[in-house]
Structure 1
Amino acid sequence: MDYQAKYITEDIKLSSYDDKFFKSDIMFDQHMLIWFISGETKIVQADATYFFKKGDIFLIPRNQLATIINYPTNGEPHKTVVMHLSTNRLRDFYANLNVTAKAPDSFKIYSFNNHPLLESCMASLIPYFEMKELPENIATLKITEAISILRTIDKAIDNILANFEEPGKIDLADYMEKNFMFNLPLEKFGYLTGRSLTTFKRDFRKVFNTTPQRWLTQKRLDLAHYQFVEKKKKPIDVCYEVGFENLSHFSYAFKKRFGYTPSDLTGKNPPANS
C-alpha cells in the first residue's frame, strides 16, 4: 500500500494512498471529522452501512465500532483531511458554556454533505500541510472553528460532543451479538462493555460457554454463509465485512466449517449440502 500522511498536529492530518483498497476494523477513541478530497469509503457498522465520496463531510462519534473499506477511484488516490475532536479539546471548548448533554438514542455517523461552511474550514487547512513552520495555535483555532460550525449546523450535536462519559458495564450477550463482525482485540471489546480483559473473558464463558475466539470465528463464518446464500454477495466483499483480514484464510476457515469453499457456494454448481 502506497500510503502517505502529513500532519499539522497529531489531531489534524492529510491522508492519502493509491492502493486498490484498504480495510480496517476500528474503534474510534475520539470523534473524527472527515472531508473527502477524492476516493470512496464504505463504512459498515452493526446496524447501518454508509458510502462516502468526493466532497462529502461526515462526523464519526467516538467509542464506535466500524469496518472501514477505502477505495481510490477514477485514477485518483483516496485522499481525506481528518480532524480529531479529542475529549481534552472538547472539554476546554465547553468549559465556559452552559451545556448539559443528553445521552443520544444512537451514535450514528453524521453527514454534512458539501456544507459550504464546513468545506471552507476543512479546505483552508490544505496550505498548512506544506508549511515547515506553522502559525502558533493554528490547530486550536481551526478545531474551535470546526466545532462552532458543527454546533451551528446541528443544534443537537452537543449531545455527542459534550458527552464525556466512558462506557459502563452493559449486557455482554446483546452487545456481542450485534458487534461480533468487528475484528478488534478482546481488550477493546472489554472496554466497550465496561469490563477489564479478565472480567470480559470470565463473563463471556459464563454467557456463551466457550472462548471468545471460538465463538467469534463461528459467528463470522455463519454470517458469511448467510451473506452468500441470501444476499448473493461476492467472497471478497463478505470476507472483509464479517471480520476477516485475509481472503485465503477466510476461505480455509469457511471450508473447514462447512466442507466447501465460498467459491463452491457462489459458483454455478454449488455443493448439494449447501
Structure 2
Amino acid sequence: MDYQVNYINPDIKLSNYSGKLFKTEAAFNDHLLVWLISGETKIIQADESFVFGPGSTFLIPRNQLAAIINIPKDGLPHKAVAMHLTAKRLREFYDRQNAKIKTAIPKIFSFHKHPLLESCLASLIPYFDMQENFPENIASLKITEAISILRNIDADIDDVLASFEEPDKIDLTAFMEKNFMFNMPLEKFGYLTGRSLTTFKRDFHKAFNSTPQRWLTKKRLELAHYQLNEKNKKPVEIYYETGFENLSHFSFAFKKQFGYSPTELQKINKNS
C-alpha cells in the first residue's frame, strides 16, 4: 500500500506515503500541526508557496485554501506526524488563559527543526505501535503541551489559535479570482466566502454570468495555457497546480478548450 495512516487518537496521526507524490487540496476545519520526519512537503497558496524538508515543523491554520503535495525523497517515504488542534480543545485551553487576542490574518507558521516541538511530536511515535486504545487523557496532555510550546515560540500564535469566528460574507469576485485554482467543493467555497451553497451560486451568477463549474474550468485552463506557453513548464508539472485531479482529465479538457493538446502546444513552442 502506497499510503498508510495510523491513528493513536482521532486528533493525532502518523502518515507514511511511498508512491510518486500525493496531492490534496484543502481548507482544513482544524489547525494542523505537522512534523515532517522524511520526504518533502510543498504547500501552494494563492499568494505564496512553501517547501518543507525533513525535520521541519509547521502549522497550517484552519480555513486556509492550499494545495498540499507530499513527495517521498532520497529513497525514503514521506513520513509525518500530524496533530489536529480542534476548536473544542483550543477553547478548553484558552478558557484557562488570560490571553489578549488581536485580529490577525492567518498564515502558515514555520518552526524549522525547533527542538521543543520536535521533541514533543517525536515522543508520540512509540504510541503508534500500541495495540490497545491510546488514553484520551494522555492525548490531551500531549496536545496541551504542543499548544503551550507554540505560544512560547511565537507571541502572535494566540491571535490565530484563539480566534473561533466563522468566515464573514466577503467580496466573492475578489476571492474567486484569487483562489480559482483550488479544486474545492462548491460548498467549501460558499463557506469560506460566508455564504450558503444556494446564496453562493446565486451571487456567483450575478458576478460572473456563468455557473461556477464552467467558470472555474475556463480559468484553470487559461492559467495552464499561460504556464505552458509563457513559462515553458511541462504538463505533468502544472496540472496539479491548476486544479485538475489527474493528467488525462487535464489533457482532455485542454484540447476541448483550445483545439490542441498540452503536448502539441509544447511542440509548437519548441519548433518556433
TM-score range, shorter chain: over 0.9
Letter in 1 for 2:97: L
How many Å apart are 1:163 and its aligned residue?
0.5
Letter in 1 for 2:234: K
Letter in 1 for 2:121: M
TM-score by length of 1: 0.96
Letter in 2 for 1:127: P
For residues 9-64 of structure 1, what are the alpha-carbon distances to aligned partners after superposition, in whole Å with 9 as ceiling and x for unaligned? 00000001111111111111100000001111111111011111111000000001
Tell me, in whole angstroms, the C-alpha distance in 2 between the residues paired with 1:159 and 1:128: 31
Secondary structure, aligned partner of 2:99 = coil
Tell me the percent identity.
67
**In the alignment, which residue of structure 2 is the partner of 1:170?**
170
Structure 1 residues 265, 136: CA separation in 2 closer, same or farther (over 3 Å shift)? closer
Tell me, in whole angstroms, the C-alpha distance in 2 between the residues paired with 1:57 and 1:117: 11
How many Å apart are 1:264 and its aligned residue?
1.6
Secondary structure, aligned partner of 2:167 = coil
Number of aligned residue pairs: 271
**In the alignment, which residue of structure 1 is the partner of 2:117?**
118
TM-score by length of 2: 0.96
For residues 158-202 of structure 1, what are the alpha-carbon distances to aligned partners after superposition, in whole Å with 9 as ceiling and x for unaligned? 000001100010000000001000001100000000000000000
Partners of 1:46 and 1:179 within 8 A in 2? yes
Partners of 2:28 and 2:64 within 8 A in 1? yes
> Equivalences for 1:223-262 in 2 at 5 Å?
223-262=223-262
> Equivalences for 1:94-173 in 2 at 5 Å?
94-104=94-104, 106-133=105-132, 134-135=134-135, 137-173=137-173
Q: How large is the Cα RMSD of the aligned pairs?
A: 1.4
Q: Which of structure 1's runs of 4+ aligned residues deviate more than 6 A?
A: none
* Structure 1 residue ranges without an equivalent (≥5): none
Tell me, in whole angstroms, the C-alpha distance in 2 between the residues paired with 1:185 and 1:268: 35
Partners of 1:169 and 1:193 within 8 A in 2? yes
**Range with greater deviation from structure 2 (124-133 or 141-150):** 124-133
Structure 1 residue 184 corresponds to structure 2 residue 184: yes
Letter in 2 for 1:244: F
* Structure 2 residue ranges without an equivalent (≥5): none
Tell me, in whole angstroms, the C-alpha distance in 1 between the residues paired with 2:136 and 2:161: 25
Letter in 1 for 2:103: A
Structure 1 residues 136, 25: CA separation in 2 closer, same or farther (over 3 Å shift)? closer
Structure 1 residues 252, 116: CA separation in 2 closer, same or farther (over 3 Å shift)? same
Partners of 2:39 and 2:70 within 8 A in 1? yes
Letter in 1 for 2:125: I
Partners of 1:239 and 1:245 within 8 A in 2? yes
For residues 183-223 of structure 1, what are the alpha-carbon distances to aligned partners after superposition, in whole Å with 9 as ceiling and x for unaligned? 01100000000000000000000000000000000000011
Letter in 2 for 1:125: L
